[in-house]
Amino acid sequence: MSRLLHGGLVDRSLTLSFAFDGATYRGHPGDTLASALLANGVRLVGRSFKYHRPRGIVTAGSEEPSALVELRMGARREPNTRATTVELYGGLVAASQNRWPSLSFDLMSANQWLAPILGAGFYYKTFMWPSALWEKLYEPVIRRAAGLGRAADRPDPDPYEKANAFCDLLVIGSGAAGLSAALAAGRAGARVILAEEDFRLGGRLLSEFAAIGDGPARDFAAAAEAELTSLPNVRLMARTTVFGAYDGGTYGAVERVGDHLPVPAPFAPRQRLWRIVAQRCVLAAGAFDRPIVFPGNDRPGVMSALALSTYATRYGVSAGKTAAFFVNNDFAFAAALDAAEAGVKVEAIVDVRPDPALASRAQALGVRVIQGEVVGATGKQLSAVTVRTPKGSETLKVEALGVSGGATPNLNLATHMGGRPTYDETLCAFVPGALPPGMAVAGAAAGAFPLQDCLAGGAQAGATAATDLGFAVPPVSVPRAEGAPSGICAFWHVAAPGGFAFVDLQNDVTAKDVKLAHAEGYRAVELLKRYTTLGMATDQGKTSNMAGLAIMAHLTGRSIAETGVTVFRPPYTPVAIGALAGHHRGRDFKPTRPTPTHLWAKEQGAVFVEAGFWLRAQYFPKPGETDWLTTVNREVTAVRERVGVVDASTFGKIDLQGPDAGRFLDRVYINTFSTLAVGKARYGVMLREDGIVMDDGTSARLADDHYVMTTTTANAAKVYQHLEFCLQVLWRDLDVQLASITEQYAQIALSGPRARDVLAKLVDRADVSNAALPFMGVLETSVAGGIPARIFRLSFSGELGYEIAVPSGQGEKLVRAIMAAGAEFGITPYGTETLGVLRIEKGHVSGNELNGQTSARDLGLGKMASTKKDYIGRVMAARPAFLEEDRPIFVGFRPVDRAERLRAGAHFLPVGAEPTLANDEGYMSSVAFSPTLGHSIGLGFLKNGLARIGETVRAYDPVRGGDIAVEVCHPAFVDPEGEKQRG
């Protein structure tokens, strides 16, 4: 056991049992998985990404590059979870990853002997050819060898959710600076959110034996937390990581609501994704302790100096029986002394500086100080380090080595909107440059490292934010703090012979790889990153970037400032996809919109199909019908011979009123509507600005200044938006008022030779004879005992047809009345499949033809276009390519051998021509089996199609092995003269 006899913020009165790689261990509440593993003497926790080298715990926070484990089991298994951030709970199960057959003996560690060929850029060099082997051999092999944990192979059983929060000030981080900022703004009455990724507030204050005011730093943190809790305008959010800064003062955050529990509490999510909108933000995220690169610096037991100290001071754990430190700065020196004070057996502090400021304190504590450099580390788990001093070489037998190359301000969020950090030579660190609007940075994140500066800077930032927002801020009193001095000597890399000297532990990038990148010309930091993978993956190089670019700076002879630094993008730490989805998964992935007749259709045994958000009846199978085609053939025949009913409520419906409504329609449709008589409807086509058809539908005139428009189901929202754009931006002079009435009306279509007979029974009083309600006529009346209705005599099927619009709450009543009235005529409900067959038989275009590539001329609708007015798309539709004789034009097709089946997507070739792109003459857009004709029929686009009716071409479909002769014909297979719909 490595638990120290006393100290730390763990609750030693309670014991929690947990398992790692099948063995059972014990820890305490307040432990992380990492601290509990170290307390149990477990130092080897994983294998590295590329070389499968044994790895241990390196940090005590979310910047951890190395100690990644699989947490939980089965459907709850989470790969690549940082042991340093996992809050220990009773029954926790974790496993090491990326090893086989076991963590201790990993056969893939043979990879390290292949290091000469696995260095930077090995993908690009080694697997050049034969390129055919990429998919079959190289990629699978590489993917198996490299990589991290395994994702769960079953759906996550736990819920996730999203939430929105708003505040005057968002404070990110709860160390000295964050607490001070929150207190200053909170006391002034501002709405403050304080987000802390740890489960305990306090940041570094929890790990340092510094004094604030008259007491320990920890007491200050506790008192600040108590005061903030008492303020109703302050919200404390522990276990919450702010992962991204976005436009408009918006921040993304993940709250780990139930991650510290075996399963989330009842009705509570595992995680909650927050969208926080803040007027101001204070980034007080602290700093990272960065490594020094030296041979063997990845041995389990080599870790960050501040982490080694934190394990001792906060968790009461010694990371090894004996320890040493290797530092270049006073913070880490002070942390080493804290560790010694906490009870860690510190053999020596190796400092590259000749005269560290705290040397006398070390002497008082009996800790030896050596001026020198660690040049080697040995042991599969660290057992000794070699120190080079001005006097010679010395070996220290230690199980833990705390290394610190200085503090790297945690400014990641400050760069999310593109701000470039700037290099401060005195601090040996990049500090924030241009900040996202509304953000200030305080404390160590700003490079203000001394504790007193953190307290003062935080308070100042909080007060400034509150003052800016108009709050009266009481005078801020900053307590006096005694922290470590902030001396540092730039030192990045120990030049010494020996094995691997790692720059980036997560990606197995070594100092040699950086040299290789330099030698091969990848010297800019962005190229260095991409060529070597330095700074990529889940840790974004939080600890490794600095040493990597310092080595590159050294190699190029430039300063670090000249070398520059890469910036970060969200998320700051990995975010589960489940959290991003929230409520919207499974059946709630998107809203399901039932049609007004849904319940009735379900009673009829309908099979449903998703159409956007809508759920529509696809077909209505009857008992004994074993396949959908049988059903659809019956439905089509019923419509052609008798009468059918279909719910068309999903069409977009738009109410247009105002004196200029007619003029407006003239400008958005290619044809004219201002001359349409009241009580009449007309089919219209509208173009995009580029001349391509956007949508089609009918518009009816109810009064001089009142029209109703229908759009296709798919384009309902798009057309409404387009019309709003036209009125609000293009033609503000037009007096037209729009209202979407898609939800207000159910619209039921009756089709077939007996449609009028059914309608006559349905209307309360109106005359629906051919004379009173002719084709394209409109009638406002009441049906089925007083339901107000608009009846449009329209036909999509080519049969005598009516569409009846009633308030949507009456839709179900209407369809039941229609079925009752139509029973004696053999009325048949039909769905979207039959709707499709009917329109293909009639040669009407639909979504397959209005596909964003076709002009009105292509669709055979060119003659509708008015030449007497301007309209959207007119100029661009006259571009030469649109008018070429050879352009594919809408026509019909039937198989020469009527028994053959047509396939949509087939391309047309001249008979006997080679199937090459040069010979391509167009494509089939829609096909159906026509029960009316007894064979397969198709619609499509063929070069100069209208002039080629009667010709035979080849329908070539290599994807599905189709290659048949088809005859070009008129697209209207049924009733081309339109007599049925007018009768």
Partner 1 sequence: MADIPAAIEPTRLLPEGHYGAPGDGVAARLRAGCSAATLAARRGALPALAARFAEAGLLLPDGPKAATAGGLTLIGTGPGRWLAFAEGARVLPGRLLPLAEGLAAVTDQSDASLLLEIAGPKVRAALAKGVMVDLDPSVFQAGDAATTTVAHVNLTFWRAGDRTGDRADGTPSYVFAVPRSFAPAFLRWLASSAAEFGFTMSGTGRG
Residues forming the site for partner 1 (CB under 8 A): 159-166, 191, 266-269, 275, 277, 582-584, 587-588, 590-596, 598-599, 613-615, 655, 657-659, 733-735, 737-739, 741, 743-745, 807-810
Cβ closest to partner 1, residue 60 vs residue 661:
661
Cβ closest to partner 1, residue 388 vs residue 598:
598
Shortest Å, Cβ 786 to partner 1: 11
Shortest Å, Cβ 57 to partner 1: 34
Round to whole Å and give the CA distance between 222 and 230. Answer: 12
Shortest Å, Cβ 702 to partner 1: 11
110 burial type by CB count under 10 A (0-12 exposed, 13-18 middle, 19+ buried): exposed
Shortest Å, Cβ 469 to partner 1: 13
Shortest Å, Cβ 156 to partner 1: 11
- Residue from 262, 312, 226, 344 nearest 10 by CA: 312
Cβ closest to partner 1, residue 380 vs residue 585:
585
Cβ closest to partner 1, residue 129 vs residue 267:
267
Query: Checking phi first, is residue 507 left (phi over 0); if not, alpha (psi -120 to 50) or beta?
Result: alpha
Round to whole Å and give the CA distance between 558 and 352. Answer: 22
Cβ closest to partner 1, residue 106 vs residue 161:
161
Shortest Å, Cβ 578 to partner 1: 12
Shortest Å, Cβ 189 to partner 1: 11
Cβ closest to partner 1, residue 155 vs residue 418:
155
Round to whole Å and give the CA distance between 886 and 735. Answer: 42
Phi, psi of 392 (to 5 degrees): 150, -150
Shortest Å, Cβ 200 to partner 1: 24
Cβ closest to partner 1, residue 633 vs residue 699:
699
The upper half-sphere exposure of residue 693, i.e. CA atoms within 13 Å in the direction of its Cβ, equals 28
The upper half-sphere exposure of residue 812, i.e. CA atoms within 13 Å in the direction of its Cβ, equals 12
Cβ closest to partner 1, residue 100 vs residue 589:
589
| C-alpha of 849 from chain center | 32
Task: List CB contacts of 891: < 8 A, sequence separation 6 or more.
Answer: 860, 939, 940, 941, 942, 945, 946, 948, 949, 968, 969, 970, 971
Cβ closest to partner 1, residue 679 vs residue 807:
807
Q: Which residue has 């449903």 as its token pair?
A: 608
Shortest Å, Cβ 164 to partner 1: 5
Q: Which two structure tokens, joined as six digits, stand for 588?
A: 């709630």
Q: Which two structure tokens, joined as six digits, stand for 764?
A: 């309360």
Cβ closest to partner 1, residue 371 vs residue 674:
674
Round to whole Å and give the CA distance between 35 and 67. Answer: 11
Shortest Å, Cβ 718 to partner 1: 14
Residue 108, SS3 per DSSP = helix
Shortest Å, Cβ 859 to partner 1: 30
Round to whole Å and give the CA distance between 617 and 601. Answer: 7
Shortest Å, Cβ 170 to partner 1: 14
**AA letter at 886:** D
Cβ closest to partner 1, residue 336 vs residue 615:
615
**AA letter at 350:** V
Q: Which two structure tokens, joined as six digits, stand for 307?
A: 């982490």
Shortest Å, Cβ 706 to partner 1: 8
Cβ closest to partner 1, residue 487 vs residue 582:
582
Buried b (16+ CB within 10 A) or exposed e, 786-815: ebebbbbbbbbbbbbbbbbbbebebbbbbb
Q: Which residue has 């004094």 as its token pair?
A: 211
Tell me the C-alpha to C-alpha distance, in Å, between residue 618 and each of 598, 646, 808, 831: 12, 10, 20, 4
Shortest Å, Cβ 846 to partner 1: 22
Cβ closest to partner 1, residue 355 vs residue 733:
733
Shortest Å, Cβ 678 to partner 1: 17
Cβ closest to partner 1, residue 548 vs residue 578:
578
Residue 961, SS3 per DSSP = coil
Cβ closest to partner 1, residue 250 vs residue 944:
250
Q: Which residue has 């432990």 as its token pair?
A: 31
Composition of the chain by helix, strand, coil, percent to 5: 30, 30, 45
Q: H or E element: which one contains 461?
A: helix 451-468
Cβ closest to partner 1, residue 790 vs residue 948:
790
DSSP state of 266: T
Provide DSSP, 209-259. --EETTEEHHHHHHHHHHHHHH-TTEEEETTEEEEEEEGGGEEEEEE-SST
| C-alpha of 881 from chain center | 40
Shortest Å, Cβ 606 to partner 1: 12
Cβ closest to partner 1, residue 190 vs residue 800:
190
Round to whole Å and give the CA distance between 323 and 345. Answer: 6
Tell me the C-alpha to C-alpha distance, in Å, between residue 418 and each of 247, 421, 437, 536, 811: 11, 10, 11, 18, 54
DSSP state of 129: S
Round to whole Å and give the CA distance between 170 and 62. Answer: 20
Shortest Å, Cβ 201 to partner 1: 22
Shortest Å, Cβ 590 to partner 1: 6
CA angle 453, 463, 452 (to 5 degrees): 15
Cβ closest to partner 1, residue 399 vs residue 647:
647
Round to whole Å and give the CA distance between 933 and 841. Answer: 9
Query: CB of 710 within 8 A of CB of 699?
Result: yes
